[in-house]
Structure 1
Amino acid sequence: RELGGAVTTLTFDATDAAARDAAVAALPPIDCLVNNAGLARGTSPAQEAALDDWMAMIDTNIVALVALTRALLPGIIERRGAIINLSSVAASYPYAGGNVYGGTKAFVRQFSLGLRSDLAGTGVRVTSIEPGMVETEFTLVRTGDQAKSDALYKGANPMTAEDIAGTLLWVATLPAHLNVNALELMPVSQSFAGFAVARESRA
């Protein structure tokens, strides 16, 4: 509503190749691509995880992002625009149960840096945004458990969707000569933990 005709909204399944192609064809020329679609499924250790959950995360977090980026890249280069990819602190800091999700977000980070290398001299800016704890419905979808989702955020004062949106806007509206390569964000209450060592039990 605030931006009027400057924004076009489309609803489609980013993992559906035909739907992606139709969406790209329906878009007007764009200056900034924000690859925000992402999915985390399950919290199980790798040996107990469902392969379908892994493949869904790969299809959403990697395949869809790569396909949309490639389809829109010629126009973004022509307009000397920007690409902002949503990665995660999980790209850098592993956690139990984060196996494939963390792997997909590490791909997003490295893909963003690779794009920067390939696009040198084109004027296109590329940024990897890497948030930590943000209170959205994302965790509920990941765990499938409202109580677990509520417990995760209780007393933590996490970041909000508005915090991340404000960061995206800031990156997107920086002067054309300035690029933020990667930006890691956490609430003050969250930090990367130290190494953990599992000790053998002694009878």
Structure 2
Amino acid sequence: MPGPSPHLPSGPRTLPGEGRTAVVTGASSGIGAATATRLAAEGFDVVLGARRLDRLTTLADSIGARALPLDVTDEASVAAFTGALDRVDVLVNNAGGAFDARPVAEADLDSWARTYEVNVLGTVRLTAALLPALRASGAGDVLFVGSTAGLVSYEGGASYTAAKHGVHTLAETLRLELVGEPVRVIEIAPGMVRTDEFSLNRLGSAEAADAVYRGVREPLVAEDVADCIAWALTRPHHVNVDLLVVRPRAQAAQHKVHRE
């Protein structure tokens, strides 16, 4: 019988993430859960972090990942989480959220503080804790899940846009500080993404959340963003995707959305 074609690969296919450990925060739902699922499929050894351990464990069991409790706003929780990790090659900073849609004149400062604590300070806290491991990996990645709200402001979104502008600046600053070191700094900035919880948490009712997407043909879903994240992380390590803005075709800008 003839042997294998010299033009075809032989043996098992090597997956892009094999041998690399990826930490995904906010992984119990939405973009975080979709990202964890996609990275596991790409061969990464995935560690999931979130507060809702029951949901996290169910997901981890289904994709062959590891679940650890994590509250990025709590120093002790971050210390326990990072202390349980043997190695880290990739950190996906996804934990975050929006919790109100009030104008500045009616600002709820408790909501502002919560938004900033989760999106910015929590991200800084975990990133700083894991940087030694990312450096030691020899080919580390810090990926921030930002938002187009971190690039363009809009009415009624000040607490969230301020926080996401903070995340954007954090990514830019960290990239400058780490230049010459074996760590990439990547930011993915999604526009309109329909998930089960984001708008519901922000607006407080299913009716108000549904109105955000009403008439919009094919808003992005979590898996679309996870696809972008996986693509950026699996480029050759000399290729740094500084900033990737991704929107549905129906959204040309923050204020320009086609509704049918």
Q: TM-score by structure 1 length?
A: 0.90
Residues 72, 125 of structure 2: 8 Å contact kept: no
Q: Compute the displacement of 1:132 (Å).
A: 0.4
Structure with the bigger RCO (C-alpha within 8 Å, sep 6+) is 1
CA distance in 2: counterparts of 1:193 and 1:32, whole angstroms = 30
CA distance in 1: counterparts of 2:127 and 2:155, whole angstroms = 30
Residue in structure 2 matching 1:89, options 141, 148, 152: 148
> Are positions 1:13 and 2:74 aligned together?
no
Deviations 1:156-180 (CA, angstroms, capped at 9, x unpaired): 1210000011111111111011001
Residues 42, 49 of structure 1: 8 Å contact kept: no
In the alignment, which residue of structure 1 is the partner of 2:62?
A: none
In the alignment, which residue of structure 2 is the partner of 1:43?
A: 101
CA distance in 2: counterparts of 1:46 and 1:55, whole angstroms = 14
SS in 2 for 1:176: coil
Aligned residues: 195
In the alignment, which residue of structure 2 is the partner of 1:141?
A: 201
> Are positions 1:56 and 2:114 aligned together?
yes
The aligned amino acid for 1:116 is R
CA distance in 2: counterparts of 1:127 and 1:5, whole angstroms = 18
Residues 91, 141 of structure 2: 8 Å contact kept: yes
In the alignment, which residue of structure 1 is the partner of 2:171?
A: 112
More strand by share: 2
Deviations 1:48-81 (CA, angstroms, capped at 9, x unpaired): 1211100001110111100100000011011121
CA distance in 2: counterparts of 1:88 and 1:109, whole angstroms = 8
Structure 1's unaligned 5+ residue stretches are 196-203
Q: How does 1:151-170 map to 2 (within 5 A)?
A: 151-156=211-216, 157-170=218-231
Q: Compute the displacement of 1:152 (Å).
A: 1.2
SS in 2 for 1:130: strand
Q: Compute the displacement of 1:107 (Å).
A: 1.2
SS in 1 for 2:251: coil
Residues 88, 131 of structure 1: 8 Å contact kept: yes
Structure 2's unaligned 5+ residue stretches are 1-36, 48-66
Structure 1: 4+ residue segments shifted above 3 A:
1-5
> Are positions 1:178 and 2:236 aligned together?
no
Residue in structure 2 matching 1:78, options 125, 136, 152: 136
Residues 68, 81 of structure 2: 8 Å contact kept: yes
In the alignment, which residue of structure 1 is the partner of 2:16?
A: none
CA distance in 2: counterparts of 1:25 and 1:64, whole angstroms = 17
In the alignment, which residue of structure 2 is the partner of 1:192?
A: 253
Q: Compute the displacement of 1:192 (Å).
A: 2.0
SS in 1 for 2:253: coil
Q: Percent identity?
A: 39
Residue in structure 2 matching 1:130, options 173, 189, 209: 189
In the alignment, which residue of structure 2 is the partner of 1:198?
A: none
SS in 2 for 1:191: strand
Deviations 1:111-142 (CA, angstroms, capped at 9, x unpaired): 11111111111121111111000001201111
CA distance in 1: counterparts of 2:224 and 2:254, whole angstroms = 23
- Choose 4-13 or 89-98, whichever is displaced more: 4-13
